[in-house]
Chain A
């Protein structure tokens, strides 16, 4: 069963890459290939793969195609926070400014001394908790699709009606053991979002509001939902999805440069829990360590998950490439407090 599932995911993944490649090779034979959108109006590449800002998917369809054709893009994003680094590699394809398919592979490496201590202890105790001493990587694959429902974000300047799209994301964590260790319940799940985007030319500003139906922890990188530690190993798990809000505001200072900010509401599924080792309450281990003179009790308690905020600058010298730099304020992530840092993204459009 699991095998079959993996296989179908592989095929989907191949299809996404193939579709992107196809869009590129069409360049020569014109007609269906299209790059007729005005600079930056397709948005950039989110960490979810969907076209949008840095973290928030917009209602715009990614790529520079208009309703007359197809366009594809690829992106690389690197996030550097004190306790972790994340790389995102992704592709997406926009069809007739109507429909979008996307795929992203993300890798988050944790370098947490407190988690590493647990890893050391666990390896001594011969427990497989998905984290090895000095090497804890959380991988995730995200498959996405987005459909524009109605509206035109750019040209309907005489109406308040925005462009509205609906999108779906399917996310699958690679390191299931580590997700569980960090208190997450599901290691694969879907998210659904509705996004509304509009450019207000008189103030040179794009505004986007997105509502996302999800149970994700840190965008899914640390799983979905939570298992409360009851110390019995059976767990009290739930995966309650909820509606969370996201806002992007991008002010265009020139036709190729935008500055702005984003806010993404997060849940707090795992906050207050201590790290979960094979369903066992950590207390005994913490106790054992305490005997050795190491106090782990509070250091291994999951912090309350914070909402994500960022301030960004996007620069598109032409229709083939754009760059985004951002300052991220991500609050607490798992057992690491106050994660603020930098984001750098390159978006190639064909």
Chain B
């Protein structure tokens, strides 16, 4: 057993946890830590803003399934990490954020760059620690990684005062954790599994809705086998996309605010909804009192608090998706539902939702996404930002392979995509990674272009420039009589901007140039960027107006007025948020 400094203990422990890549930026409180880091074989990615580091760690974690690690100094370093930590919390992403803190003897004195980091991050972490004694450090790191990756994943923050990184202690990495208050339940209860199986067998119009939990649990083959045996059609949530192959005959798209018409109708008519690893977010359910009105709901989730939180549940099952689906697969008898399938395909024919012309006449964003799908043969990993471009990417790219659609759903911070794509590319260097972003979101974290250039990462950026905060503009057009308040944007010359960062960049303003542009970018070895100057006032449809139920899905702007009148009567005037 050796005596090590806190910084050495941290580095040794990170190696024990299998960490190879760290995203961060140094500062006064963590200079000793950076000094030690320098002597260890980690790949350190120097972000240009700590928000970037937090989203990079998030992207890295989502694509690899390992815990992402980000690092910031005390005060501003820590507060800059907050957006990415909150993103990871909302979307159940395993992350350990490490922050420097002023020395223990200065805590509470409003010292230079002191913030109450554990206080600030308490509601946006799964757990957090302020380590006041170097003797506790190894145990805390062990616990932090265990908590971050076990059960429902999430971010854990460790705040380390400067003197704790320089003080020494005998180092021994614990082999076990002792957390009596943290014992996630992995296996479903057999009685409930039997009950669910009987319910599924008796259903005439069963429907699966699979969420992010499928991806987090790696339950791809179990979900597929279960759907095939029971012949139950499958929806995913936005974060469940790529948990089930989108060209599978049983795949029915995704529901919710910008989901497919037939997906929303399926939920509205099913008599048995099997929800797995999804948390009944309001973007999915629409108005709650009209959600799945005819269904008995079987809800499977690893977090007991999600069961019964938003919707009534007939059979709640606490457990890991993979385990529970395996058990259900064994218990349930094969099924088939020709009439229900017939109804569903009729809706699909009458309301195709995703139909696009072979060739667009103007620079239509959904069509450009579809071209990207063709150009990459559906094999790329798409990392998307927040807004209209995000929705079109999710709608019009058809994801075949597991875990190839990466987006922030719960928090939805603009600026997520570029840094997250950097993390994704570092996690899976062999993948073709596309960052799909709007002009607004791109400008929130574009400083990370430096990282792209510096690390020579072959991320390709598809920048959808409509000179608007398009998603908000759409709401203003449809629900606020076109009063475009604070949404029009003057933009820089993105081609020159890309060039300033040594990233080959082209601008495409004509439909004819789209296919060639994708080929151009794909042929480049390193990073490349395409700015698509797209139709400025295109809208995302279908859409469930805020406050409306899934039955009230609108399919075009002409649909809005009549539907909104019904909605206003049903829901009062609460319009919710973008």
The answer on A and B forming one complex is no
